[in-house]
Chain A
Amino acid sequence: MSLWMTRLSQPPGKRHTMVEKVTVTVDALQALLDQLKGRGYRVIGPTVRDQTIVYDEIDSLAELPRGWTDEQEGGHYRLVRREDDALFGFAVGPHSWKKFLHAPIVELWKVVRNGEDVSIVAESPPDQRFAFIGVRACELHAIAIQDRVLLGGQYPDSHYRARREGAFFVAINCGEAGGTCFCQSMNTGPAVESGYDISLTEIVTESGRSFVTEAGSEAGLQVLAALPRRPAMDEEIAQAKAVISRTAAAMGRQMRSDDLRELLERNLDHPRWDDVAKRCLTCGNCTMVCPTCFCTSVEDSSDLAGETASRSRRWDSCFTMDFSYIHGGSVRASARSRYRQWMTHKLAFWVDQFGTSGCVGCGRCITWCPVGIDITEEVRAIRDSGSTEG
């Protein structure tokens, strides 16, 4: 306790260097949700719906997918009962937090006419702040990547910024590697390292399920200070570490990632693109479930009388024909070119554009591809063909 007091007396905003861990019970986790709600946050967490684990508004721990896990493979996702009652014993589902931060549909502005006077009125983003419960390491990395895309340039996106700035992140160290997970290969997990306010590691103690917990920000510290807790015991800390190593060792997929930029750039005409084109349905599922895919399009509309007009923005996908349409036709008409665009952007050209890979190894694109196209397998096929060009 005294340690906490010491730290709370530090000036706000100062980053604490010492890692202090406390242990909280499942009940304390409910208190966390209540705390966040009480502070005005809209609390979003994982919950079961339509036989999948999705992210939605939650009020109580009872809504978490307790005792469930997800069986994931290429083109395959099934919820199955766990043998225990773990609260976070699953990997990631079809949703990602971009649904909330980089919303699928955003109203941008409308034109208001007052006689001869015409003006443009910006649509404001919602002013409620989000608190996200159960954010994975790969997802924190995905958010950091979208931060670079949408906030890092000359023109920060005001809607993303409004949703992002006040958000509160309760991260969870993964206790279960999904069948399509490969964060270990992308250096984005399974341990959460930064970008969270509070992190949790689920462990089993004598008193049942508990969480080894750390604050990662001043806001996190304050929230944590209001929860029932005790200093974490050494063995609990060791158990938490073991959880992470076990997960790291159980990755469903692997992909060498240190040379992807060069590998793909010199193989832009590789026959493998034709091969994948035979399987790819260009449905765009991979782009919808990807936590970093950021592409959008805009739509203008007006009322029938032409008195008002407005513009909205919605997620778009590089797999559509319209995406690359220029006067006369689409630049990327073939499935081959559209898959190549998606993958080379994600793994190679993203580095040129934003100084980071666009892939966090969450495996969603593999799981939710209706024909089970596996990005790790496609990279391997190109690599193993022993490209002589480079």
Chain B
Amino acid sequence: MKIRSLEQIVAEHRFFTGLGDEHCKLVCGCARNMLFEPGEYLFREGALADRFFLLRHGRVALELTAPGRKAMTFRTLREGEIVGVSWLIPPYRWTYDARALEQVRAVAMDAECLRQKCDADHHFGYEMMKRFVPLLVEWLHATQLQILDVYGTPA
């Protein structure tokens, strides 16, 4: 099997479709490959959100835990998706746990590195925003639908 370069991986990832070469280089400068075993946490609630992940393989559960209750999964993510948005806004803290459901291969993006590049090059920053905003909107819509509990019994 051919070993693909990080640049190839990033360029081919769904999230970065259409990103120019220059900008792709900027992204890759902040990227590194990571591997998580099943059950391993990508990050924990409350910790510093200093990165986000492009999922290349394997699924991740986003979980919340309340005292006295088992952890609840509110979303699973899979290959092609992004894990983590808390790095975008201060105070840069994770608001949930992300746990690997199976072996997960991911590209971790250094948030500090990326934020600096966005600040320095607003065109690049805009490219990033164009990718994150639709994602946030889609999550918002999905969350709305979830909150409505449409399969439940109306009161």
Contact = CB atoms under 8 A, between A and B. Distances in A.
A/B touching: CB–CB < 8 A: yes
Interface of A: 327-329
A211 to B, nearest CB: 61
Contacts of B153: 328
Contacts of A328: 153-154
Interface string B116-155: 0000000000000000000000000000000000000110
Nearest to A326: B154
A135 to B, nearest CB: 48
Contacts of B154: 327-329
A89 B153 CA distance: 58
B153 to A, nearest CB: 8
Nearest to A329: B154
B68 to A, nearest CB: 31
Interface string B22-47: 00000000000000000000000000
A327 to B, nearest CB: 7
4 contacts: A327-B154, A328-B153, A328-B154, A329-B154
A343 to B, nearest CB: 29
A327 B151 CA distance: 12
A298 B61 CA distance: 50
A329 B153 CA distance: 11
Contacts of A329: 154
A145 B113 CA distance: 75
B115 to A, nearest CB: 45
A328 B154 CA distance: 5
Which 4 pairs from chain A and chain B are nearest by CB?
Answer: A328-B154, A329-B154, A327-B154, A328-B153
A329 B154 CA distance: 8
A308 B154 CA distance: 34
A245 B154 CA distance: 59
A328 B152 CA distance: 10
Nearest to B155: A328
A327 B155 CA distance: 10
A94 to B, nearest CB: 39
A327 B153 CA distance: 9
B40 to A, nearest CB: 42
A327 B154 CA distance: 8
Nearest to B152: A328
A99 to B, nearest CB: 38
Nearest to A327: B154
Nearest to B153: A328
B129 to A, nearest CB: 35
B148 to A, nearest CB: 12
Nearest to A328: B154
A328 B149 CA distance: 13
B95 to A, nearest CB: 32
A328 B153 CA distance: 7
B152 to A, nearest CB: 10
A345 B1 CA distance: 66
